[in-house]
Structure 1
Amino acid sequence: MGKHMGYLNHECDLPLSVDSCLLELPPYLPKYKRWFFSMKKFFTIDERSARTKRFFRSYATVMSEKKRHAEGEYSKIIHPFSRCAIYKERLICILWMTSLLLDPIRWSIFMPCDTDHALFKIQLALDVAFLLNVVVTCFTGYCVPLTREIIFSPKIILKNMALSYLVPETLSSLPYKHVLLKCFGINPRKSRAMAICAIRLLRICRLTDMIRYLINILQELNIPESISTIMIVFLMAFFMIYWSACGLYFVSICYYTWDGLPTESWLFGGENKDMNFLHKRVCSGTAREFFDLLVTTFIRSTCHFFGASEGYREIILTVEKLVCALVLVSGYIYSNYAMAKVLELFGSVNISESKYEELIYQVSEYVRSKHLSENLRKRLILYYEYKFQKRFFKEEEILATLSEHLRCEVFLHTCRNILERVPLFQGMSKGVIGSVIGYLKREIYLPNDVVIKYGEPLTKMFWISHGTLAVYFGTDMTEILHFEDGDHFGDYSILKKGGTAYLSIVALEITEIFTLARKDVKHCTAFVKEMTEKVIRIGKEKIHLYTSLAKMMSDEGSQNMVLADLRKGRILEKDRWRKKRPKTMVKSSAYSTEN
């Protein structure tokens, strides 16, 4: 049967297992309970998403995290790698982008307008959506980038996001103008109290989150990193200029009030017209008039942002000069930031990524010169991408410059996954483990690569760090089980007599394995002394287990298929209502009975 698990696409002969880590549903479960079960799967980790595959190194790690979330104390918390969290992130990214466009116009150009304006109704709906997002965020886990730890505790979530996310987002979503107009009866044309709407400037704090969400969306669309970086740089520049333009408008109106604005202000555009005309142009004018006003303001802000000129008209008022100076300083800082990003992208600042791209280019040229197949080219690219994680470095030269103690610490940290999960190392002293770690070699196997072939002599002992392997027994290649993170095999290779492989092992996904070669065993005498008895004992148990599994798979193959179909609900019928018989048939049957 095909086993499609996001990471793996493998025709598996093993009995079908429940990978959702949730209770299996009976065939006759009511629809509302099935809906509840589907929602629970919607809130847990999605192993098929590209983001999950980038974060977790193997399918076994994903299943372990899924089990931890489903069976843990905080199973009702939304997982940050779930479909719910991913869809919410995409939706909020679009809503934030819309709000960052509409919000500045609302509290600047459209400040004197009534709340019945269509723009205010749209923004009110967005604010309600943002407040709902604040509530949902309190029940959504988050990932710590440095430790790659996923937090589910509501107390820690509130403590971590209170000041940086929850409070600013809540304050920037409250309807201040509606309160001032409806509750206090303040005239927005004559009062400086409307300056309280500046609290909504906290919405700009979400610009970094919006950019991060947008980068995730671009990665899921497989947009190259260079193109996405350029898009982000231009998008941030647009929003900063746009907000600066609205800020020029907002500060002038709040300082002088709408009716008290001097005619020397740049808002009049050099025309000797009163504020009633400007108010009518903004609130009751045509779309063309509003667009012309917005473009004029945007061009002036762009000129000051890049220090090009003063725009169409000279700035006379002191307050407006101060705002323009602030815009100029902001533009100077951002221009340097944008230049740094460009140097990081194309220059020597990001030399590790540049060398990786150079290596991939050399690999592509090598494939082209040797006339290798497209499939082989993809496998080579996949190998280098997994090995270097898109950052090229020479590990041997780096380790050669370290002291023996530091080198041992680096090896211990690199092999921490197998040290924590392999039962073979449990209880061993640090000295014994340290004598082995230095001789371990890291190997990477791509899907369908043969790690061990039946009948070949054992020359290495293997420990799986990340990945999944299929295990086949005997010459008939009967699949009996899977090896995953923390498993080990090839134990007899460290014995003097050695051994012959009685299994064939094939990689199902990209698998990282640490090996100890037979020629290096002589340097690990303490390890060999402590391991010899364990290897002989465990080896006998493994042979008995593998033989039993192979016999069960061969003798009960048909029965396993029936059980698999039963688990899928293919054998049991679905409940169906019996159709009503026609009345004529009922009468005729009754008549025949009486006769």
Structure 2
Amino acid sequence: MEDETRYLHSRCQLLHQDEEMINELIHTGIFISFRRNIWKWFTLDKNHPNTQLYYQSETSRREEQKRHITLYKYRLIIHPFSLHNFYWEIFMFFTYIYMLVVYALDDMHIFRRAFSINVFKLIGDSIFLLDVIHFFFQGYYSTEKSKTVLLQKHIIEHYLKTYFLVDLIAISPSIAIICDWLEYIDGENSPIFLLVSIFGIVRLLRIPRWLNVIDLFKSYKDYPHHIFKAAKIIFIYVVCLFVSYTAMIILFNNIYAVKHTHLSFSAKRYLVATMIIMLAAVGSSEHLDTYIYTVEVIIVFTIAAFVLQMYLYANIFRMWNIFFIARNKIFNHFLEIQHYLQSQGIPIALRNRVTNFIDFKFQIRCYDEEDINYLVSHVLRQRVMLHLARKHLGNCRLIQNLPDRILFKLVAKFNSEIYLPNDFIIAPDSRNKHHNIYFIYFGRVAVYDSKGSEICHLEDGESFGEEDALCRYINIGSVVAVSACELFRLRIKDLFNILEDFPDLKDTIITEARERQLRLSEA
């Protein structure tokens, strides 16, 4: 039985993948179990939410693990799709919230002694300093190259060009606090110290990272997408509320400091509490102050809070419409379109073509693509598009052998176009002058030569235009839709940009296009 199993694996030329790649690579030396557990924590893991998106097959995951473990120059690098990185991102998410609360408490003057709140700030910024160091040893996935970058030189260069300066400025308040403790500067009277103390607010530029952690956690736990969509909206609302509140307190303190007006501790607490209520309710409250600058600040932030609440209500209303609008409105939409066409005096033949177009596109189901994209996650959208491309365009010679990572990019560049019977897709005079490649998603088209003679009919899953676009050879005179059809149009410029890092695939596609051109010429 063992010999038969070995023969089957030899016959299909596949590796026996029952054992994990880490166990195969780490099998000698001391502390084998300990070393394996360490590498499992820091290398690519199939349980990471993004692993299934970028490394869908078991073979690709094993090859990536092998590349990470065996190459010495990657030994100190943490894989971006490792469990360590996943849990680190979650930990940093709560650290961001922790610092947001600390800054809010500082502005509320709950701590009478500045030393106490500064200790909390120093603890948070120490963690952020570790996060900065962590980024120098954390790989990243390059969507341009469709691979994970693990070379430290490129990692450092990428981080320096993106968020390094933001992260460095964000921890500068703790540096100023240490300088104050060491008596290098006078924290109470130094204007530079007061200015640097608010630099931590620049962490708001890292909100995309916070939202990405929410998406990762949703994918990891497989929770409904609309619940997390609502959670993200509320999260953005709360963060903006905190920021508005912090900015208000800073302005108020500066106003009173400049005007040399003393404000007691109890009065500050009352003022802060009233401001929070005002921002939350977006309404009027008790009379705060007759000072004109104070009133102006209150008016500005009341308007800002009103806009913020409108954003919250608009998103809630949009989700409500998507989930709860009755389907009988579909027929009302079609009826409104028919009445509009009739009122505009559109000829019956043209009205029928518009009706046929709507029937073909929506299939008696009226929908809003923006609403669907709003609710569906980015990962699911990519999987749906990849499935449609593989299912309906799998027989197309141009893309049938392309790996998923490249097909993802091509699908993202597709432009959907619908044609009714007898519509010109490529007119006789245009000769595909824009150099586009067309993929037939559904329907049938007729191809004519420059003399007007019919060459062939093409159906679902086939393509045309690549000979003219890739070989710069005018072989097609025109293309006409025989039935109602939906096509995917791809610009040759986009194709070459995607294949720029894959010269072998580019040469293969051009070779196949030339072979097809010769066959059409001989026919």
Q: What TM-score, normalized to structure 1?
A: 0.52
Distance in 2, Cα, partners of 1:107 & 1:126: 17
Quote the residue 1:432 is aligned against: 512
Quote the residue 1:171 is aligned against: 169
User: Are the equivalent residues in 2 in contact too, given 1:192–1:254 (CA < 8 A)?
Assistant: no
User: 5 Å matches for 1:127-138?
Assistant: 127-138=125-136
Q: Cα distance 1:398–1:188, how it changes in 2: closer, same or farther (>3 A)?
A: farther
User: 5 Å matches for 1:24-63?
Assistant: 24-26=25-27, 29-31=29-31, 34-63=33-62
User: Are the equivalent residues in 2 in contact too, given 1:171–1:199 (CA < 8 A)?
Assistant: yes
Report the 3-state secondary structure (helix = DSSP H, G, I; strand = E; otherwise coil) of the residue aligned with 1:331: helix
| 1:160 is the counterpart of 2:158 | yes
User: 5 Å matches for 1:286-365?
Assistant: 295-303=273-281, 306=282, 308-309=283-284, 311-335=285-309, 337-338=311-312, 341=315, 345=319, 351-352=368-369, 354=371
User: Are the equivalent residues in 1 in contact too, given 2:132–2:167 (CA < 8 A)?
Assistant: yes
Report the 3-state secondary structure (helix = DSSP H, G, I; strand = E; otherwise coil) of the residue aligned with 1:92: helix
Quote the residue 1:69 is aligned against: 68
Q: Cα distance 1:428–1:208, how it changes in 2: closer, same or farther (>3 A)?
A: closer
Q: Cα distance 1:434–1:83, how it changes in 2: closer, same or farther (>3 A)?
A: farther
Larger Rg: 1
Q: Structure 2: which 5+ runs fail to align? A: 2-13, 323-365, 377-381, 390-410, 427-431, 439-464, 467-488
Distance in 1, Cα, partners of 2:374 & 2:128: 40
User: Are the equivalent residues in 2 in contact too, given 1:112–1:189 (CA < 8 A)?
Assistant: no
Q: Cα distance 1:238–1:428, how it changes in 2: closer, same or farther (>3 A)?
A: closer
1:426-477 Cα deviation digits (max 9, x unpaired) = 97682534666xxxxxxxxxxxxxxxxxxxxxxxxxxxxxxxxxxxxxxxxx
Distance in 1, Cα, partners of 2:200 & 2:20: 46
Q: What TM-score, normalized to structure 2?
A: 0.58
Q: Which amino acid aligns with 1:300?
A: M
Distance in 2, Cα, partners of 1:159 & 1:402: 46
1:6-29 Cα deviation digits (max 9, x unpaired) = xxxxxxx974565426763336x4
Report the 3-state secondary structure (helix = DSSP H, G, I; strand = E; otherwise coil) of the residue aligned with 1:80: coil
Q: Cα distance 1:36–1:183, how it changes in 2: closer, same or farther (>3 A)?
A: farther
Report the 3-state secondary structure (helix = DSSP H, G, I; strand = E; otherwise coil) of the residue aligned with 1:227: helix
Distance in 1, Cα, partners of 2:419 & 2:103: 52
User: Are the equivalent residues in 2 in contact too, given 1:245–1:300 (CA < 8 A)?
Assistant: no
Quote the residue 2:138 is aligned against: 140
Q: Which amino acid aligns with 1:25?
A: I
Q: Structure 1: which 5+ runs fail to align? A: 2-12, 264-274, 283-291, 360-381, 437-522, 529-595
Q: Cα distance 1:180–1:55, how it changes in 2: closer, same or farther (>3 A)?
A: same
User: Are the equivalent residues in 1 in contact too, given 2:102–2:121 (CA < 8 A)?
Assistant: yes
User: Are the equivalent residues in 1 in contact too, given 2:89–2:213 (CA < 8 A)?
Assistant: yes
Q: Cα distance 1:324–1:190, how it changes in 2: closer, same or farther (>3 A)?
A: farther
Q: Which amino acid aligns with 1:63?
A: R
1:101-146 Cα deviation digits (max 9, x unpaired) = 222322552576231x2x4433322211111011001111122456
User: Are the equivalent residues in 2 in contact too, given 1:435–1:527 (CA < 8 A)?
Assistant: no
Report the 3-state secondary structure (helix = DSSP H, G, I; strand = E; otherwise coil) of the residue aligned with 1:236: helix
Q: Which amino acid aligns with 2:159?
A: M
Distance in 2, Cα, partners of 1:332 & 1:112: 33
Quote the residue 1:208 is aligned against: 208
| 1:228 is the counterpart of 2:228 | yes
Report the 3-state secondary structure (helix = DSSP H, G, I; strand = E; otherwise coil) of the residue aligned with 2:64: helix
1:173-218 Cα deviation digits (max 9, x unpaired) = 2423453355157474998953431112222223332122122212
User: Are the equivalent residues in 1 in contact too, given 2:47–2:83 (CA < 8 A)?
Assistant: no
User: 5 Å matches for 1:247-258?
Assistant: 247-257=247-257
1:340-374 Cα deviation digits (max 9, x unpaired) = 64576566899337569999xxxxxxxxxxxxxxx
Report the 3-state secondary structure (helix = DSSP H, G, I; strand = E; otherwise coil) of the residue aligned with 2:179: helix
Q: Which amino acid aligns with 2:54?
A: F
Distance in 1, Cα, partners of 2:102 & 2:497: 50
User: Are the equivalent residues in 2 in contact too, given 1:180–1:186 (CA < 8 A)?
Assistant: yes
Q: Cα distance 1:121–1:343, how it changes in 2: closer, same or farther (>3 A)?
A: same
Shift of 1:93: 0.8
Distance in 1, Cα, partners of 2:166 & 2:388: 39
Q: Cα distance 1:387–1:14, how it changes in 2: closer, same or farther (>3 A)?
A: closer
User: Are the equivalent residues in 2 in contact too, given 1:105–1:246 (CA < 8 A)?
Assistant: no
Report the 3-state secondary structure (helix = DSSP H, G, I; strand = E; otherwise coil) of the residue aligned with 1:406: strand
Q: Which amino acid aligns with 1:351?
A: D
Q: Which amino acid aligns with 1:216?
A: L
Quote the residue 1:90 is aligned against: 90
Q: Which amino acid aligns with 1:26?
A: H
May I ask how many residue pairs the two structures share in their alignment?
380
Report the 3-state secondary structure (helix = DSSP H, G, I; strand = E; otherwise coil) of the residue aligned with 2:114: coil
| 1:121 is the counterpart of 2:119 | yes
User: Are the equivalent residues in 2 in contact too, given 1:190–1:258 (CA < 8 A)?
Assistant: no
User: 5 Å matches for 1:391-406?
Assistant: 397=418, 403=426, 405-406=436-437
User: Are the equivalent residues in 2 in contact too, given 1:315–1:321 (CA < 8 A)?
Assistant: yes
> RMSD of aligned C-alpha atoms?
5.0
User: Are the equivalent residues in 1 in contact too, given 2:171–2:200 (CA < 8 A)?
Assistant: yes
Distance in 2, Cα, partners of 1:52 & 1:244: 38
Q: Which amino acid aligns with 1:101?
A: V
Distance in 1, Cα, partners of 2:301 & 2:273: 17
Distance in 2, Cα, partners of 1:527 & 1:57: 40
Q: Cα distance 1:63–1:185, how it changes in 2: closer, same or farther (>3 A)?
A: closer
Report the 3-state secondary structure (helix = DSSP H, G, I; strand = E; otherwise coil) of the residue aligned with 2:74: coil
User: 5 Å matches for 1:497-512?
Assistant: none
User: Are the equivalent residues in 2 in contact too, given 1:189–1:259 (CA < 8 A)?
Assistant: no
1:394-451 Cα deviation digits (max 9, x unpaired) = 9684899865642256679899999x99x9x897682534666xxxxxxxxxxxxxxx
Quote the residue 2:342 is aligned against: none
Q: Which amino acid aligns with 2:85?
A: A
Tell me the percent identity: 14
Structure with the greater relative contact order (CA < 8 A, sep ≥ 6): 1 or 2? 1
Q: Which amino acid aligns with 1:249?
A: I
Report the 3-state secondary structure (helix = DSSP H, G, I; strand = E; otherwise coil) of the residue aligned with 1:150: strand
Distance in 2, Cα, partners of 1:254 & 1:383: 53
User: Are the equivalent residues in 2 in contact too, given 1:252–1:261 (CA < 8 A)?
Assistant: no
Q: Which amino acid aligns with 2:244?
A: S
User: Are the equivalent residues in 2 in contact too, given 1:112–1:188 (CA < 8 A)?
Assistant: no
1:59-90 Cα deviation digits (max 9, x unpaired) = 33333333343345434321111111111111
Report the 3-state secondary structure (helix = DSSP H, G, I; strand = E; otherwise coil) of the residue aligned with 1:143: strand
Distance in 2, Cα, partners of 1:148 & 1:345: 34
User: Are the equivalent residues in 2 in contact too, given 1:139–1:154 (CA < 8 A)?
Assistant: yes
Q: Cα distance 1:60–1:16, how it changes in 2: closer, same or farther (>3 A)?
A: closer
Distance in 2, Cα, partners of 1:98 & 1:350: 42
User: Are the equivalent residues in 1 in contact too, given 2:214–2:228 (CA < 8 A)?
Assistant: no
Quote the residue 1:199 is aligned against: 199
1:529-579 Cα deviation digits (max 9, x unpaired) = xxxxxxxxxxxxxxxxxxxxxxxxxxxxxxxxxxxxxxxxxxxxxxxxxxx
User: Are the equivalent residues in 1 in contact too, given 2:279–2:305 (CA < 8 A)?
Assistant: no
Distance in 1, Cα, partners of 2:30 & 2:180: 51
